[in-house]
Amino acid sequence: MAIFDKFKSLVEIRQAMEENCSDFFNIVMEDISSTTEAVVNGRKVILAGTNNYLGLTFNEECIRASCLAVEKEGTGTTGSRMANGTFSGHVALENELSEFFDRSHTIVFSTGYVANLAILSTLVGSGEVILLDADCHASIYDGCRLGGAEVIRFRHNDIGDLEKRLRRLEKRNTNVLIVVEGLYSMMGDRAPLADIAALKNKYKAYLVVDEAHSLGVLGKNGRGLAEEAGVEESVDFVIGTFSKSLGAIGGFCSSNHPELNLIRYASRPYIFTASSSPSTIASTRTALRIMQEKPELQHRLWDNANLLYKRLKGLDLNVGPEASPIIAIRYSNVEDAFGIWNGLLKLGIYVNMVLPPATPDGGALLRCSLSAALSTEQVEKIGDAFALLNS
């Protein structure tokens, strides 16, 4: 058996899809002209498929801070946090995130993906249990697989199923870590976090909430679903990323457990990954400040989300259960989804097409993720394009 023979089935699936969906595999952002517009495969398009929720990637203050950091500290750290990779900016950002979340301790990681790998592979181990929502992100699954804990899934947003599993685990007398997301990245639905927090307290478990898509999006201060649901005290660990609302790249974990800092000495993804570049840290710190100073960005984002959700729901499209900056339309097969996706691209609208196995139910999704930077006119154009193609 040759080393690549194991991928034969994947090759066959890819070849079959390329016969009908070849353009999907060749998307190139040739020119990013603004937060909301780009040239994709030679066409000028409105970007309705990014996670740039607050529209800060072209913010002048963020760009200036990034440039100044490059000039002062160079293009990269060339080392891990445990070696030479902890600069003053890393420490400052950790302190600022702790203050923002009103928590005692924060660790910054090079990506949101690495944050989940680092925390979930290290926090629990052999003989302990992770209970995770079935629709959790791939990085959460991968972090769980890296550790030695037993991993048990519960049905997506199913409180009854979660409690049934917690009840069974009581007799085991072991540590149980519940892992959920604030906003789920495929359908944009919220976790029933108040109910989950109540079960966590009842059964004396620990709770991790990945606020990757809800940071800056939910809560009066933008701290995410835990803030919106009023259960921040019940959340043991908040994990998130800088690559959505903060317009950069990186990740973090914040907690009131002083032992969180032991992760720095036990987690291989933290110890053996080069730290974030000074420019990334500088722009992230600036974006975090702007997010707090300008709550109108969150309000504008939700105005756009509610407008497009109402329009697409009015077209009888199979959208998610609630309005959200993530608006996904379900299709039963890839061919139908690609036909609409390709039509949107020709009309100057770029959205994400999500294919199995990444989709929750094995079908296909067209996924819009909106930005505060989109104008009302641009959002209406997105709605008009869907209306034309689905008429």
How far is Cα 294 from Cα 243, in angstroms, rounded to an integer?
19
Question: Domain boundary at 276, 310, 327, which?
Answer: 276
Q: Say if residue 359's pLDDT is above 90.
A: no
Shared domain check, 315 and 172:
no
Residue 279, token pair as written in the block: 């420019």
Amino acid 16: pLDDT: 73
Shared domain check, 319 and 236:
no
**Domain span including residue 381:** 5-58+295-389
Amino acid 216: pLDDT: 98
Question: Residue range 333-342: average pLDDT?
Answer: 89
Amino acid 160: pLDDT: 98
* Residue 95, in any domain of the structure: yes
Amino acid 20: pLDDT: 65
Question: Domain boundary at 276, 309, 340, which?
Answer: 276
Question: Residue range 180-185: average pLDDT?
Answer: 96
Rounded to the nearest angstrom, the gap between the alpha carbon of residue 54 and the centroid of all alpha carbons in its chain is 14
CB under 8 Å to 350, separation ≥6 — which residues?
A: 38, 40, 45, 46, 47, 48, 49, 344
pLDDT in tens, 234-283: 999 999 999 999 999 999 999 999 999 999 999 999 999 999 999 999 99
**Total count of domains within the chain:** 2
* Residue 72, in any domain of the structure: no
Shared domain check, 315 and 264:
no
pLDDT above 90 covers a percentage of the chain that reads 86
Question: Residue range 192-196: average pLDDT?
Answer: 98
* Residue 71, in any domain of the structure: no
Q: Say if residue 21's pLDDT is above 70.
A: no
- CATH, residue 244: 3.40.640.10
Shared domain check, 307 and 269:
no
Amino acid 390: pLDDT: 87
pLDDT in tens, 88-127: 999 999 999 999 999 999 999 999 999 999 999 999 999 9
* Residue 63, in any domain of the structure: no
- CATH, residue 338: 3.90.1150.10
Shared domain check, 221 and 299:
no
Shared domain check, 231 and 307:
no
pLDDT above 70 covers a percentage of the chain that reads 98
How far is Cα 264 from Cα 70, in angstroms, rounded to an integer?
26
User: Which burial class, exposed, middle or buried, applies to 132 when counting CB atoms under 10 A from its CB (0-12, 13-18, 19+)?
Assistant: buried
pLDDT in tens, 32-65: 999 999 999 889 999 999 999 999 999 999 999 9
Shared domain check, 352 and 300:
yes
Shared domain check, 338 and 204:
no
* Residue 70, in any domain of the structure: no
Q: Say if residue 355's pLDDT is above 90.
A: no
Q: Say if residue 72's pLDDT is above 80.
A: yes
Q: Indicate the average pLDDT of the chain.
A: 95
Shared domain check, 84 and 37:
no
Question: Residue range 313-336: average pLDDT?
Answer: 92
CB-CB neighbours of 272 under 10 Å: 11
* Residue 195, in any domain of the structure: yes
* Residue 281, in any domain of the structure: no
pLDDT in tens, 149-173: 999 999 999 999 999 999 999 999 9
Shared domain check, 159 and 196:
yes
Shared domain check, 92 and 32:
no
Shared domain check, 206 and 301:
no
